[in-house]
């Protein structure tokens, strides 16, 4: 049965823990936002009861799957926070109950399950035909829950080649804003199914179950090349060109950060190539095609060549890059394919990190970015995804760290086509998240399924977006 904790009838410390506690990842928090109640749902029927409770008290509903959103979208002033962390939870375990159909290779999972939890479950589901385990390319960070990740589109593992994670959604179970349980697919309630793939927190219902098409998991191999920060332009010029003809099983990233390497104190540039291959020989061929094109003008400080790795190791690396109990400010852009000089445009932001934990990331998106997207709300992309992660511990550094992100975005937005919902903060700036057509259609779907604005939607400045949703326009461009 759902546990409902109201603000006025719950011990203040207990209520604060239910609101923020371990569930909210970012330690930089706006504690002036105080929900009316927190409803901890264990079943879909509990979610219905939570929505009915909100209707009875004439207040809005916010939804939390994992609490990893940088801006803590689930915490809304005066709303009933429906916390899904316990939804369908198997006794004694986090992540909820999973089910897998070996015939269709479809897995069913609750929105509060993380990508790591899902893949731990799938690791035992070995395909009888090819002998490979199944997996799902969820979030790179192991504790990112499926709910927010998939609703935002899902920039998952090897998204560059396999496409957006939300494209693997074959069905969802939801509770609507008027407290009805529905199943949605391409043929049943197709407008909600369309919106679920890219609407983000503006999805006008509460997902209680995802049904996802899995993939076969090959062995992972990785090559890492570290360079001096002064080599940034040359490295990005090399990698961005090499990415265009790279093996389609290879993910390609360039990052600047202070890496945990004892002999180097200053930030460095990392060219990261991760490939999913059936054999070591195939991996060597795929990675050598990239490495052989390193220009003579730069020399790596340190290299790791075609080393076998696995998901657990990759998740550990991501955890190190995104430490808990830290303060975060994050923003992103899809840089236009037409930009004249990408390395020169990015260099000021990528070489001026405000703290040792901060990082700037460039993610290659071609060829996914050049194909026609399926008919879904997610409708913006480009060849170049750029995200800035200011990460720090001391509140006294707020101004400098937030300032680095905000000031960098003022420049980058002018060369962008829009942004990805997953690394955004709607309170910080306006930008485009959908094409013009998809943005208008999303408003219509939201008004149809939630005409009263029962579900909070987008946390913009002042939390005023309501039924209309975001304006889908640039702040500065």
Q: Which domains does the chain have, with CATH numbers?
A: 3-83 (3.30.43.10), 99-216 (3.30.465.10), 219-423 (3.40.462.20)
For 71-129, how does the pLDDT look when each residue is reduced to its tens digit (9 = 90+)? 999 999 999 999 999 998 765 455 468 999 999 999 999 999 999 999 999 999 999 88
Angstrom distance (rounded) from CA 264 to CA 268: 8
Query: What pLDDT was estimated at residue 263?
Result: 63
Question: Which of 316, 391, 362, 390 has its CA nearest to residue 141?
Answer: 316
pLDDT at 88: 86
Identify the residue with better confidence: 374 or 259.
374
CA dist., res. 183 & res. 164, Å (int): 22
Contacts of 442 (CB under 8 A, 6+ apart): 195, 199, 202, 377, 434, 469
**Is residue 209 a contact partner of residue 109, using CB atoms and an 8 Å limit?**
yes
Q: Which helix (H) or strand (E) holds 226?
A: strand 219-228
Q: Quick one: DSSP state of residue 65? A: S
Q: Are 145 and 160 in contact (CB under 8 A)?
A: no
What does the mean pLDDT of the chain come to? Answer: 95
At residue 208, the pLDDT reads 97
Q: What is the pTM of this model?
A: 0.96
pLDDT tier at 2, thresholds 50, 70, 90: confident
Question: Can you tell me which residue has the tokens 């105080």?
Answer: 34
How confident is residue 477, by pLDDT bands cut at 50, 70 and 90?
Answer: low
For residue 166, give the DSSP letter: G
Residue-wise pLDDT tens digits, 318-347: 999 999 999 999 999 999 999 999 999 999
Distance between CA atoms of residues 72 and 76, nearest Å: 9
Distance of alpha carbon 279 from alpha carbon 22, whole angstroms: 41
pLDDT given at position 96: 62
Helices (H), 378-477: 398-412, 436-449
Q: Quickly state the pLDDT bin for 266 (edges 50, 70, 90).
A: confident
Among 308, 276, 271, 319, residue whose Cα is nearest residue 291: 271
CA dihedral sign of residues 337, 374, 171, 216: negative
CB-count exposure of residue 401 (10 Å: 0-12, 13-18, 19+): buried
């Amino acid at each position: 049965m759902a546990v409902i904790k109201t603000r006025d009838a719950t011990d203040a410390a207990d209520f604060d823990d239910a609101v923020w506690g371990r569930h909210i990842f970012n330690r930089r928090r706006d504690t002036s936002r105080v929900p009316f109640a927190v409803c901890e749902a264990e079943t879909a029927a509990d979610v219905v009861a939570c929505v009915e409770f909100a209707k009875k008290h004439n207040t809005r509903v916010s939804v939390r799957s994992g609490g990893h959103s940088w801006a803590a979208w689930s915490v809304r002033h005066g709303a009933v926070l429906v916390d899904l962390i316990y939804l369908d939870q198997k006794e004694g375990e986090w992540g909820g109950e999973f089910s897998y159909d070996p015939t269709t290779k479809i897995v069913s999972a609750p929105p509060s399950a993380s990508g790591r939890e899902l893949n731990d479950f799938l690791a035992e589901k070995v395909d009888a035909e090819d002998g490979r385990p199944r997996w799902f390319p969820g979030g790179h960070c192991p504790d990112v829950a499926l709910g927010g990740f998939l609703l935002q589109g899902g920039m998952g593992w090897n998204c560059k080649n396999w496409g957006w994670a939300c494209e693997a959604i074959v069905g969802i179970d939801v509770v609507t804003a008027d407290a009805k349980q529905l199943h949605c697919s391409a043929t049943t309630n197709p407008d909600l199914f369309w919106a679920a793939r890219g609407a983000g927190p503006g999805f006008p219902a509460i997902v209680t179950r995802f049904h996802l098409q899995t993939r076969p998991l090959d062995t992972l191999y990785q090559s890492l090349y570290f360079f001096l920060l002064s080599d940034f332009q040359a490295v990005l010029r090399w990698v961005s060109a090499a990415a265009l003809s790279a093996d389609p099983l290879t993910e390609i990233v360039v990052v600047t950060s202070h890496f945990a390497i004892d002999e180097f104190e200053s930030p460095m540039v990392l060219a990261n190539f991760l490939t999913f291959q059936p054999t070591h020989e195939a991996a060597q061929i795929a990675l050598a095609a990239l490495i052989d094109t390193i220009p003579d003008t730069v020399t790596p400080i340190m290299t790791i060549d075609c080393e076998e790795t696995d998901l657990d190791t990759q998740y550990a690396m991501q955890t190190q890059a995104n430490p808990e109990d830290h303060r975060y400010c994050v923003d992103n852009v899809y840089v236009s394919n037409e930009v004249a000089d990408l390395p020169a445009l990015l260099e000021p932001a990528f070489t001026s990190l405000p703290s040792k934990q901060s990082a700037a990331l460039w993610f290659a998106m071609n060829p996914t970015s050049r194909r026609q997207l399926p008919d879904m709300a997610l409708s913006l992309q480009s060849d170049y995804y750029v995200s800035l992660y200011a990460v720090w511990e001391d509140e006294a550094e707020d101004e400098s760290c937030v300032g680095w992100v905000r000031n960098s975005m003022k420049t980058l937005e002018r060369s962008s086509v829009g942004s990805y919902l997953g690394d955004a903060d709607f309170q910080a700036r306006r930008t485009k998240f959908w094409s013009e057509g998809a943005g208008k259609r999303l408003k219509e779907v939201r008004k149809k399924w939630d005409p009263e604005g029962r579900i909070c939607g987008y946390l913009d400045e002042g939390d005023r977006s309501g039924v209309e949703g975001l304006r889908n326009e640039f702040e500065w461009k």
